[in-house]
Structure 1
Amino acid sequence: MGLGILDTALSGLTAFQRSLETTSNNISNVSTEGYSRQRVETATRREQYTGSGYVGSGVSVVNITRSYDQFITGQVRSSTSAYHDVDSFYTLSSQIDNITADDTTGLAPAMKSFFDAVDTVANDPTSIPARQTLLTQASSLTQQFNTLNTRFGELRDQVNTNLETDLTEINGYAKALADLNVKIVADIGRASGREMPNDLLDQRDLLLNKIAEKVDVNFTNQTDGSINVFIGNGQPLVLGNSASQLSLQSSATDSTHKEILLNGQDISGLISGGELYGNLRFRDQVLDPAQKQLGTLAMGLATEFNSTHQAGFDLNGDPGLAFFDLGSPVVQVTPHAADDNLLATASFVAPSSSANLDTSYRISITGTSPNAYTLTNLSSNTSQTGLDDTTLATAAAALGFSITFSGGSLTSGDTFDLSPSFNAAGTLKVNSAITNPKQIAAASSAAGVPGDNSNALALADLETKTLMQNGKASFTQVYSQLVADVGSQTHAASVNRTAQDTLLKQATSAKETVSGVNLDEEAANLIKFQNAYAAAAKAVSVASTLFDTLIGAVR
């Protein structure tokens, strides 16, 4: 009898000791990121049959498990990815929104001041101070164009830095996951699959959440306990103990445009979710369109003002010079050609009119021998078809560029996307040949009639004329459209960010309810297990006394 009681009591001591150790571990890790509360699972030992019935033989520690819900954990991971996507998009978009819509950093006040100066010259065309003010305001306007373009370039550098940082962190997480796979497989094998290495599994879930902050991530469980991890639209990041390598590479046609490579393959278009996608979306949906629109406005303003200014005469009776100089901005070209050796070279050509200027175009090869092309405006989705080499050159020049092909063969189906305005705002300046306010062509004839302001009035009228977008928009309206587009996307991102933040907090709260450590609950468990341990120890003492009594009786 004493031995039976002793064995049962000792099993209780062991079970309650494990429970106390596990509870202590929970309390110690209350602030550990990613830790899941653990609990001891127990089961009664097989009872023993006696002539008077079955007698229990104590308790066994079956397993130590973590409080874990796969569905809720997956919800936290997807919410994390969605939130960090919209958060990074909003953070970057709001910067453009602030600089374009602000009364001091935006372009609208500078354009207003410039045309006010033109009005002043029209009101007093012989006034040298008024003419000098116009030159000063023109210089300020071009500087504002340059400054905005520079700021856009700085934001692009920031995006590239963010991408580089994110990829470095993802590569580190992937390597750590591959190493964890090896350890988890070994530990599960050591326990013959009956017990799980809880701490290692928590570390793996935490790494998956860290990756989810950077990019959308999914995984599949393997029979040996390891996982295969995929990002974006199913690109493999970790396969067992092998981690892939992400890297950043400049586009072949634009050193500032970065592409994301996975083991050397471009996956930029396959990325979704997380900070990576938020940065890419901002670049492609907000930054690039805004910079192109700004450049198109610079081209349109310079083209129309030059044309009108050159139609007049200055105070010396000389024909007006081109007032603005667009310089030689680099034309952005993105080829999609079958022949890798084919080189498309585009150069800037000052357009003769602003009516058909837009942000982006596409040249499609529709035939060879002889060559045939289609030129499409990607903004309005209008096309000029049936062009040959000569008519393509004429049509392209009207839009601000020329293009030549070399080094390879054109193939039907090849396309080339171009943006002649992409860098135009950065090169705009006042014509350096205009060094004297007398050179402002305010008159409409060379006769030198005092007070002739006909051409100055024509220049002032340019402010409100709808000369751009096929006669549908003025210069001010083009810029207002830029501000409105950026503002609407920023506002939508703000609303979405708030919603995703709420969803993430709800998912995190649900996970904490299931897996988090509650100190009050653990303190209560500590007392319960302590008392149970003391009771089991008392049973051991009683069993010892009974055993001693039995031995004494035999003697």
Structure 2
Amino acid sequence: MIKAADLYTIATSGVRASNELLATTSNNIANVNSEGYVRERTTFESQLVGGVGRGKTERVINVFAQNQLRRDTTQVGEYETYFQRASVLDNIFASEANSMSSSMSRFFGSLQTATDEPTNMAARQLVLGEANALVGQVSTLSRFMDDKEKELNLELDAMVNYANNLIETIADLNKNIRVAEGNNLFDEPGVLKNKRDSAILELAELMSIETRSNGNQDGSTMVNLKSGESLVLEDGSFNLFQLSGDPDPDYRSLLLSSTGKPTTLRLPEINLGGQMGGLFRYRDEILAESQRELGQISMAMVTAMNQQNRLGMDFDQQLGSNIFSTPEFQGLNYSDNSDLTLTMTGRLSEDGASSLTSADYLIEITGTTAGTPDTVDFTVTLVNPDGTQVRDTDGNVITQAYTGVDAENDTFTSVIGGLELEFPNGDSYAAGDRFLLQPTKRTAQSIEVIMTRPEDIALASPFRVDSAIDNLGDAKLTGSTVTNTTVDASLTDPDRSAFNGNGGFVAGSPASIVFNSATEFEVFDEAGNSLVVVNGVADYNNLMTQAANDAGWPFAALNDYPGYDFSLQGTPVAGDTFSISYNTNGVDDNRNGLELARMQDKDIMSQNNSGGSNKVSFHEAYANIVSDIGAKTASADISLQAAEAMKTQSNDWFQSVSGVNLDEEAANLVRFQQTYAASARILTTAQSLFDTIFSATR
């Protein structure tokens, strides 16, 4: 060992080293309650010439524990945000006071009461009252979720601004750390690094990130999203988040834009993680789905009820009318459309209740042709709220192409999913123009009860079947149905019915059936003209349908004519006659009222968006919403508890290494005081020896 240092130098270096150790320990003790503080440690190396060399102060940190704490912080942030928001919706939908199911039950219950007494005006008025209450309840729920969407967007705006501030802070701290380490090779800039680690931990709470340290070179840390996109780069630049809603400004997409280059990247929100990822998951998995499913139930129910009421006869002995309004909805323009003033409109078709889904509809123009009228070619594709395509049970995209469709005002064309579309701008559209229809998102708020008179509730059936008094067979009427009451005075509409809208039938319509034998019947009009003879009759169910299926049916060009049917039970004999007439003075009739009341239990609605044939009732559809929200909320609660337990463990692990232990620091304080005193004693001894030598030379 080489020792060239004198006793004074050795003592001085010892005092200096002990002083540094005391300062480090004192700083640890002073910052025991400082948020984000990582305890520091000063280390020394002995010098060859003797004494203690210059010390190096650095943070005591376990990178693996730190990374685990960040990951668990991200998990807690995601599940806590998701659970808190989901719980609010779960409480609202599960509450009896806010339940749409309760309102539907009261509405259908009032219909049953009115059906029991068709001439009771008070019972009829109660139906309208409960209809208004139901519409009000649906509108309240829809507006509540609309408000939640607005709150969510405000939260997203705030989180994006906060995340961008953190990213800029991390990048600035990286620069400062580079400068500090370049100016001082011996002391780690602990304060700056603690601030940076705190900012990174806060960013990890917002989203799932990964870090890469450049500590051996300049002390900087690069930050990436877990999906790979860079946030803080090695060269000191950084990328920032922004939100964009195209075409729906209320449905935000997350973008990442470069501060150095004019580039913007769409990010996959589903795997974002953290509080921001929890908000996006809540929006896509619960809020957006529930909004549209509630709208689907509402639109399907009012459409089905309107259709059934139109198939009946009201108290004034007129054909029934709509009970509820059926709102139209405007297509949303995409920002890259050729002309943002172009419009398109959608509405639910009269029989679209069973075909309507909760999906959105993407309409893309593929071509136009000028003419009289102008025509347009387009495709309709079902899409999810996030823009992804809906697929059927076989994995195929649900889409349909249409060509040569009239493009003019007040001309609606039926398309898949129970919708009708209007293209009022003729050939002004351009290939590539896109529109987004959201028929179930907010239209529930626009539904109103437009029927004001209780007399307009069509509880009676508009036709009746009477057996001739001199019939010899035992055939009796067992059931009657009405499927079409479309009135067309011009007699050119292929969808027209036999009803003339004036309390009777169109001339030439089926007015009676006469059996020629037990296996043959003949249909006559009101003038006694034979319309068709049906042979080979095996049963007496749906006699008009059997007539329409016969090759001699004179109304084969019409889609659903005459619009009424009936069935018999028993055995008719030759000459038995059954006359068909408008149900004049049939105000005591409740056949259509029974059909209206039965709508509560009918499987009418499409169960999912995949094009399956499974149907559910209105109550079952609402119960599915409630149970789905409840299941996802319960699952999020369990995941949150597990994530919090993991975070506690990782935090304990991190604090056991990097946290300040007062007992340990107190022991170090005593030890370093002793080394300081001992070094000072050496200095005193050296001084005494020097004085002795100096005195001897006098």
TM-score above 0.5 = yes
Cα distance in 1 for residues equivalent to 2:93 and 2:274: 26
Post-superposition offset of 1:366: 11
Post-superposition offset of 1:311: 1.5
Cα distance change on mapping 1:327 and 1:386 into 2, 3 Å: closer
Q: Which deviates more, 475-484 or 309-318?
A: 309-318
Q: Which residue of 2 aligns with 1:45?
A: 47
- Conserved in 2, the CA contact under 8 Å of 1:19 and 1:529? yes
Say whether 1:162 aligns with 2:177.
no
Say whether 1:214 aligns with 2:351.
no
1:271-320 Cα distance to aligned partner (Å, 9 max, x none):
61121111112112211111111111111101110111112222222322
- Mapping for residues 193-272 of structure 1, pairs under 5 Å: 193-222=185-214, 223-231=217-225, 233-239=227-233, 240-249=235-244, 251-263=245-257, 265-269=264-268, 272=272
Cα distance in 1 for residues equivalent to 2:265 and 2:297: 33
The equivalent position to 2:139 in structure 1, one of 133, 146, 156, is 146
- Conserved in 2, the CA contact under 8 Å of 1:326 and 1:428? yes
Secondary structure of 1:60's aligned partner: coil
Q: Which residue of 2 aligns with 1:463?
A: 600
Cα distance in 1 for residues equivalent to 2:447 and 2:368: 40
RMSD: 2.9
- Mapping for residues 244-323 of structure 1, pairs under 5 Å: 244-249=239-244, 251-263=245-257, 265-269=264-268, 272-323=272-323
- Conserved in 2, the CA contact under 8 Å of 1:2 and 1:546? no
By relative contact order (CA 8 Å, sep 6+), the higher-ranking structure is 1
Secondary structure of 2:148's aligned partner: helix
- Conserved in 1, the CA contact under 8 Å of 2:11 and 2:679? yes
**Which AA in structure 1 matches 2:224?**
F
1:79-130 Cα distance to aligned partner (Å, 9 max, x none):
2122212221121122221111211112111111111111111122222222
- Mapping for residues 114-513 of structure 1, pairs under 5 Å: 114-191=107-184, 193-222=185-214, 223-231=217-225, 233-239=227-233, 240-249=235-244, 251-263=245-257, 265-269=264-268, 272-330=272-330, 333=332, 340-341=337-338, 345-353=343-351, 354-360=353-359, 371=377, 373=379, 375-376=381-382, 378=390, 380=392, 383=398, 385=400, 387-390=402-405, 394-396=413-415, 399-402=418-421, 404=423, 409-410=430-431, 418-431=437-450, 434-445=451-462, 446-449=583-586, 451-469=588-606, 470=613, 472-513=615-656
**Which AA in structure 1 matches 2:357?**
D
The equivalent position to 1:543 in structure 2, one of 661, 680, 686, is 686
Cα distance in 2 for residues equivalent to 1:233 and 1:105: 41
Cα distance change on mapping 1:374 and 1:134 into 2, 3 Å: closer
TM score, norm. by length of structure 1? 0.89
Post-superposition offset of 1:185: 0.9
Post-superposition offset of 1:441: 1.7
Say whether 1:63 aligns with 2:56.
yes
**Which AA in structure 1 matches 2:231?**
L
**Which AA in structure 1 matches 2:35?**
E
**Which AA in structure 2 matches 1:308?**
Q
The equivalent position to 2:31 in structure 1, one of 29, 32, 36, is 29
Cα distance in 2 for residues equivalent to 1:407 and 1:202: 61
TM score, norm. by length of structure 2? 0.71
Cα distance change on mapping 1:59 and 1:513 into 2, 3 Å: same
Cα distance change on mapping 1:6 and 1:207 into 2, 3 Å: same
Q: Which residue of 1 aligns with 2:696?
A: 553
Cα distance in 1 for residues equivalent to 2:333 and 2:365: 18
Cα distance in 2 for residues equivalent to 1:27 and 1:347: 70
- Conserved in 2, the CA contact under 8 Å of 1:2 and 1:543? no
Unmatched 5+ residue regions in structure 2? 258-262, 370-376, 384-389, 463-582, 607-612
- Conserved in 2, the CA contact under 8 Å of 1:216 and 1:232? yes
Unmatched 5+ residue regions in structure 1? 48-56
Cα distance change on mapping 1:450 and 1:388 into 2, 3 Å: closer
Cα distance change on mapping 1:127 and 1:199 into 2, 3 Å: same
Q: Which residue of 1 aligns with 2:555?
A: none
Secondary structure of 1:248's aligned partner: strand
